């Protein structure tokens, strides 16, 4: 396992910080409209974080700040297991890539063999609630139930998930407390494929970064979308070409420290 190999080059000392400090001088007033527009555009690109950043939550920004030096790529798949999960497992196996599956607890008992194979082939399992509900609209006790019932289903298969991904990326302080009560960390994503919109998956790849710093991040997909599964072989090829080192969610977090936090 990558995370357990102390001699791996990912563990080499990081290069000296090259972060730029915040500007000390005030911004001229004529630039303020432009900066406001830029801020809005950036916020629209990261719709998932819904409340003030909590250091115990791995939101889009926290994940984007990791994995820079090694081009780590964690492919994550939400909403399964489903009818197309097994086909996706075949693709991952053939490509030698392991992914992370954030499963819906109420679906787990429908696909026990798929779940067992998923783990046996080195993929990671995360918790995506029991009924795929928007946790922010639930009472604290219901939130805890959504998380714990999924963990109980997974425990029947010997699986203990480390991460909770709240559906739609929506969570609140009660979610953070409930996750902590289950010894879990909330983990979102840093690259949204928006595959549920059925658009060109390749459009999410930042073309200009190819050959410069490579592609990296925690990629969000849905394994119950046939189009996603069909596109995955070519997409993985493109990511390999771009220099991705494929890891699971845990490996992504464990082998990459935060970069340049001012
Ligand atoms: Zn979902």
pLDDT tens for residues 184-205? 999 999 988 888 776 676 666 6
Distances (CA, A) of 186 to 56, 94, 154, 224: 8, 30, 17, 22
> Which DSSP string corresponds to 83-131?
TTHHHHHHHHHHHT---EEEE-HHHHTT-HHHHHHHHHTT-EEEE--SS
Residue 105's nearest CA partner among 128, 84, 123 is 128
98 Cα: distance to centroid of ligand 1 (angstroms):
20
**Are 128 and 103 a contacting pair, CB within 8 Å?**
yes
Q: Domain spanning 58-254 has what CATH number? A: 3.20.20.370
pLDDT tens for residues 22-42? 333 444 555 555 554 544 444
168 Cα: distance to centroid of ligand 1 (angstroms):
6
58 Cα: distance to centroid of ligand 1 (angstroms):
17
188 Cα: distance to centroid of ligand 1 (angstroms):
11
Active-site residues: which are they?
A: 78, 222
pLDDT tens for residues 118-170? 999 999 999 999 999 999 999 999 999 999 999 999 999 999 999 999 999 99
Would you kindly state where each structural domain of the chain is located, as residue ranges?
58-254
Write down the pTM of the prediction: 0.76
- Mention every residue, 6+ apart, whose C-beta is less than 8 A from residue 7: none
């Amino acid at each position: 396992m990558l995370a357990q190999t102390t001699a791996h080059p990912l563990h080499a000392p990081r290069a000296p910080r090259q972060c730029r400090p915040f500007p000390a001088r005030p911004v001229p007033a004529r630039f303020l409209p432009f900066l406001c527009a830029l801020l809005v555009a950036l916020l629209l690109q990261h719709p998932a974080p819904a409340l003030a950043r909590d250091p115990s939550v791995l939101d889009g920004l926290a994940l984007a700040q990791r994995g820079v030096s090694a081009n780590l790529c964690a492919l994550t798949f939400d909403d399964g297991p489903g009818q197309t999960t097994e086909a996706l497992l075949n693709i991952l196996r053939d490509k030698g890539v392991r992914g992370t599956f954030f499963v819906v607890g109420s679906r787990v008992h429908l696909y026990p063999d798929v779940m067992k194979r998923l783990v046996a082939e080195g993929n990671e399992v995360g918790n995506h609630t029991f009924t795929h509900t928007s946790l922010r609209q639930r009472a604290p006790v219901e939130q805890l139930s959504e998380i714990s019932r999924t963990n109980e289903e997974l425990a029947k298969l010997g699986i203990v998930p480390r991460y909770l991904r709240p559906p739609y990326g929506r969570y609140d302080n009660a979610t953070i407390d409930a996750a902590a009560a289950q010894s879990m960390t909330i983990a979102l994503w840093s690259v949204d494929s928006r595959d549920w919109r059925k658009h060109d998956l390749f459009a999410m790849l930042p073309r200009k970064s190819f050959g410069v710093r490579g592609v990296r991040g925690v990629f969000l997909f849905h394994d119950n979308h046939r189009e996603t599964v069909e596109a995955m072989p070519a997409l993985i090829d493109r990511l390999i070409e771009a220099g991705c080192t494929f890891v699971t969610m845990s490996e992504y977090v464990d082998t990459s420290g935060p970069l340049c936090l001012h």
